[in-house]
Each structure stands twice: as C-alpha cells, then as structure tokens.
Amino acid sequence: MHAARITAQGLATRPARDPVEVAERLLAVQAQDPRGARLAVRARSEGLVASDVDGALDARRLIVTWVNRGTLHLIRSEDYPLLQAITTPQQWTSCRKRLEQTGVGDKADRGVETVRRALADGPRTRAELRDALDSADVPTVGQALPHILFYATLHGVCVRGPMAGKEQAFVDVRDWLGEQLLPVREKALGELARRYLVGHGPATEADLARWAQLSLGDVRRGLAAIARRIVDLGDGLVDLRNREDPAPLPPPRLLGAFDPLLLGWASRDAVIGDHKGLVTTNGVFYPFALVKGRAVARWRLPNGKVAIEHLENITKTTARRLEADAREVEEYLSS
C-alpha cells in the first residue's frame, strides 16, 4: 500500500513537466509555506525551477487560496469552483468566531466590501489591503487582517494570484478567473472523491474526510457517486479501478516542508516511523529526506545552502545521493 501511495503521489512515476500537472494530480498542495509548495512541485517534476511556479501563478493557471482545512493551498485555477464549493462551507462557524475574538465583529461585512472595492482596479498586496481596511475603520491589528481576508475568501471575493515581488498579490475572483459557477453538491462530492484518489489512493473514508475536512456522511456520498469507478481492497481501503501498478520506490530525495506525502492520510506513520519530531505539536512539518519510502533525515536552508541533519544511519552511497539532491534543491530555488 505504501508504494502504491508514493506512486499515486507522483514521486515514483514519470516526472511532470509542468507545475500545473503536479497540481492536477494532487488536487491541492498545502502552501502556507510558499517554498514548501514549490518544493512539492520539484519533487514530482523535472526540468523545472521555482520561478516556473511563479510563472504559472502570473499566467492565471495556478492560484493559492484557503480551501481544505482552512489552510492555504496551491491549486489549478480550474479546480477552484470544486474546492470552494465543497471544502469551505464547514469553515464559516470558526471564521465568524475568530472575527469576534479579534475585534472585527459586526464590521466583518464592511471589511469584505472594502476588499472587493480595493481589488476592482487590479491585484493588491496584503499591505495595500490593510491600508484600505484601515481607511474604512475595519480593525486590522494582530490576527484581524488575515481573518478578514479569510472571510472574504470564504465569500468567494478573492484569491491569491500573481507574484508582486516576493509575495503574492490578492485578486478579485471574477476578474482573475472569470464568472464562477459552483457545481451541484452531490455531483461535486463524487468528483472530489475521484480526484482525491488520483493522487492519494488507496485510501479510506477517514483519510478523505481528514484531508478535505468533510463529514464521513459526505465522504460516503462522494464514494457512492463513483462506485463504478472504484474497487474495494479490503480493510476499508478503496482505489480507482485500472490503477497503474506501484512503481519501484524513488531514489533518495529531499522533500520540502508540509509535503503532501505527510498530509494526505489520517496516519503518516509509514513515512515518519519513530521520527515524530518531523511534525511538531504546533503543526509545523519540517523538510525531510525520503529514502526507500521513509524519512531518514530533516534539513534546513541557512544562507541558501542545504544542511542535512541525519536521524538515523544511512549508507555512504545514500548520503552522496542526498548531497547531490541538495545541490539540485539549491539550484531549483535560486532560479
């Protein structure tokens, strides 16, 4: 099963040649760490550099927005209606509560309209939106600003689009992506289940429920809608029919922070084993080295150079391969 999942993730199959191809396979790549999202693309592709992801953002082929679990994700622009319709409604209650806690309260709707008006003339940076909200007497101190922007995103007003220097600017959804028609929920649940299995199968109901923050009832409706296209593998596992055979495990490779391989299922034990420190109690997922399908080291990037911290003994050959991959990571990120 582990090899099958690594294959589904695009880590052991034909490498992608386009960042959009990676996003299509995985459906949603966690992106609150922008470098981590770009490294997720690197690990599943060849012939690309980090600026190719930026180019796809500028070309409106990719966007970053809050979807699954209320977390920023890198997604294809054409997948926005599906994920917006299915993974955001369950976030409204907690968002409203946080708006109250941060002092925004009944000024939240004014904040949404202020963001909408500010984006009418084109992309705006976070700082520019803060200035607009301050002028409208909408609180932006502390966590108020991100929660107003989150609230506007839940309303379908904005997403993060093109790069503005080293940060992403916010854009009006209709201006940037065109008029959005949200799909019928029952049909969308089936499509979400199918697309999830493309990049994560085999999986259980609980895996999909956790990944998309859906109820088990919604997950079961989604799987029932595609019943003819999936196969029951036993022990609660299902997968798409006619799935490609698992490929040999990939060679030693450095994966970035919040890599999808650690976020796609209810359990990540098959990857991290005893190295629980790769995931901290405050939700930080460290960059790590994958060898024979398992995490054996973690790494940092001080001053633009990869520094690997080994968590267990590895062979000299494996160490050399990781060092070679480290040089490729440095080149990828600097281009």
Q: What is the DSSP string of 49-94?
A: -HHHHHHHHHTTSEEEEE-GGG-EEEEEGGGHHHHHHHHSGGGHHH
Rounded Cα distance between 47 and 127, Å, is 34
Dist CA 201 CA 160 (whole Å) = 29
Cβ proximity of 279 and 288 under 8 Å = no
CB 52 within 8 A of CB 28: no
pLDDT value for 280: 85
Tell me the torsion sign for CA atoms 247, 249, 250, 253: positive
Residue 285 burial class via C-beta count within 10 angstroms: exposed 0-12, middle 13-18, buried 19 and up:
buried
Q: Rounded mean pLDDT of the chain?
A: 97
Give the integer Cα–Cα distance in Å for 258 and 243.
Answer: 26
**Both 32 and 163 in a single domain?**
yes
What CATH number is associated with residue 224?
1.10.10.10
Distance of alpha carbon 224 from alpha carbon 234, whole angstroms: 16
Q: Do 236 and 118 share a structural domain?
A: no
User: Are residues 257 and 236 part of one domain?
Assistant: no
Residue 278 lies in domain? 253-334
Q: Could you say which DSSP state residue 268 is in?
A: -
Same domain membership, residue 192 and residue 164: no
pLDDT of residue 227: 97
In the predicted structure, residue 281 carries a pLDDT above the cut 80: no
Residue found by looking up tokens 């101190």 in the block? 141
Integer Cα distance of 110 and 228 in angstroms: 47
Q: Which of 161, 177, 193 is the last residue of a domain?
A: 177
189 falls within a domain: yes
Beta-bridged to residue 89, according to DSSP, are none
Residue 197 in domain? yes
Does one domain contain both 189 and 260?
no
Do 80 and 189 sit in the same domain of this protein? no
For tokens 């989150």, the residue is 150
Is 8 within the bounds of a domain?
no
Total structural domains within the chain: 3
Average pLDDT of the residues in 301-328 = 97
Quick check: is 5 in a domain? no
Phi, psi (degrees; rounded to nearest 5) at 266: -65, -30
User: Across residues 7-35, what is the average pLDDT?
Assistant: 97
**Residue whose token pair is 């019943």:** 227
Alpha-carbon distance of 250 to 170, in angstroms, equals 37
Would you say residue 226 lies in a domain? Answer: yes
Residues 104 and 236 in one domain: no
**Do 313 and 190 sit in the same domain of this protein?**
no
Q: Which two tokens stand for residue 245?
A: 């055979």
Instruction: Provide the pLDDT for residue 182.
Output: 83
Q: Tell me if 14 is assigned to some domain.
A: no
| pTM over 0.85, yes/no | yes
pLDDT of 247 > 80? The answer is yes
In a domain, 144, yes or no: yes
Residue 13 lies in a domain: no
Q: State the Cα–Cα distance between residues 19 and 50, nearest whole angstrom.
A: 9
Do residues 160 and 269 both lie within one domain?
no
Among 152, 177, 202, identify where a domain stops.
177
Q: Which residue has the tokens 């890198």?
A: 74
How many helices, marked H, and strands, marked E, lie in the chain? 15, 11
174-179 average pLDDT score = 96
Q: What is the mean pLDDT of residues 177-193?
A: 93
Same domain, 218 and 134: no
Do residues 74 and 116 both lie within one domain? yes
Choosing from 122, 157, 177, the residue where a domain stops is: 177
101 CB neighbour count, 10 Å cutoff: 13
CA distance 284 to 280: 5
36 with 157, same domain: the answer is yes
4 in helix, strand or coil?
A: helix
- Provide the token pair at 63: 């966007």
**pLDDT digit string, tens, across residues 53-111:** 999 999 999 999 999 999 999 999 999 999 999 999 999 999 999 999 999 999 999 99
